[in-house]
Amino acid sequence: MVEVVGKRKTECEKVLGTFIDDSHFDEVISEDMDLYAIDPLEPEKKDESNIIFKFRKGVFTQKEQDSAYAGLRSAAVESQNRGMAAGPRGEKLGGRDWVTEFQSRVVEYFDTRAIAAEFPEYTDSVDETRGLVWLRSKITKEFGEYEGWFDKWMNRVKDLPKDQQVEQAKKVKSFISDTNYAQTVMSGIAGYFDRYPRIPYGRACGFNEKNPDLFTKSFPYLRKLNDVFKRELPVRWGAQRAAADKLDPRFLIDETVFTTLTVNYDFRTAAHRDAGDLSSGFSNISGIGQGWKGCIFTLPEYRVGINLQPGDLLLVNNHDGIHGNTEFEGDDNDRVSIVAYFREKMLDLKSWDYENLRKQFVEERRKNPEHPLQRYLWNGVSPNMWASDEWGDYLKKYNMDDEDRVVNTSNTLF
């Protein structure tokens, strides 16, 4: 029997980017439940407009789980692209030290001595989720010893003339990485992805493009997920089906309304909201593997945790609701979590063949040493390229229409 509950939403914006613990929930759900947000104007309303989650135990058979595990486990790889979900950056990034807020302000103070400013006060704040790191090799080459180098440098530079302080600050800035880092987690994507400024074409994700046979092992599991979604939330599923019907079906995962999967392995997510999924659809999370302890899926705005275990399915409003996990318990956990969704920007894509031709065009430009825009490490992308004569001529060469309707024959390459 499904328990049906209504709860009032509480304000929790301050927890975003931080880790969840058991102080963020009053109860842990371990059986089937439907949770609705109480509407102040219609307190008794319980429909798909105010549904928060539907939790169902034992949805997937062991065979479906085993096949999905075999097909998707290797999609979760080391990643620094999970942003807020990866949580606070901590004191170190592996063996590398972050450039702290205090250090950054000190360097900036010395670099701008022409401007009146007070020396910054010390702070040990590390709440940020991304940041820059010190290049240890450069520092040891300059100072010999790495430990304590910054404090020694700072105290020495304080007594120098202003022009020398500026010079020293610029030198130390060269010891800072150009790359912005975040905590490394085990996470990846599978299925299909929309256009991106640096990769301006719809495409299969790298995982299934390289491992198509492996990917298909997950299809029975995903079809079951799709069927339960349709049964439990027919209105939300219908909205996602309507969006899916606008796509070339080759951008959909098998016979489902999903375009994309996020696959995590033993990844404790910090408090965050999901982005990029279809707002009129609905999200979900399920877990497979040998099992785990802890890692309670938590919705702090509703003061509730869900004890998601292998074979269970949680249909949940991750798009609007803040969510995260408590910490794992012990060292023998084996948890692959799967989130299947429809990426809203996929609706901007044209036909499969057209997107593939865009990809081919970019790759040919990138590899062409005679291209007038060629330069070191060029990725083949340039401003206004899709309105250029070059793209228009390329379309004609392959007898394909300009499905984006942006080619301007009066435009030049430059």
Pairing of strands 304-306, 297-299: antiparallel
Going by pLDDT thresholds of 50, 70 and 90, the confidence category of residue 410 is very low
Q: Is the model's pLDDT at 412 over the cut of 50?
A: no
Going by pLDDT thresholds of 50, 70 and 90, the confidence category of residue 411 is very low
Query: For residue 36, what are the β-bridge partners?
Result: 6, 51
Burial 146-172 (b: 16+ CB within 10 A, else e): eeebbeebbeebeeeeeeebbebbeeb
pLDDT digits (tens, 9 = 90+) for 95-134: 678 788 888 888 888 888 655 566 666 555 444 556 788 8
Distance CA 338, CA 255 (A): 17
| Residue 71: per-residue pLDDT | 98
Q: What is the mean pLDDT of the chain?
A: 90
pLDDT digits (tens, 9 = 90+) for 150-164: 999 999 998 899 889
Predicted TM-score of the model (pTM): 0.80
pLDDT digits (tens, 9 = 90+) for 307-335: 999 999 999 998 889 999 999 999 999 99
Contacts of 160 (CB under 8 A, 6+ apart): 168
Going by pLDDT thresholds of 50, 70 and 90, the confidence category of residue 223 is very high
- Nearest alpha-carbon partner for 300 in 88, 16, 3, 46: 16
Q: Where are the alpha helices (DSSP H) in 204-277?
A: 206-210, 212-216, 219-232, 234-244
Distance CA 369, CA 151 (A): 49
pLDDT, average across residues 273-296 = 95
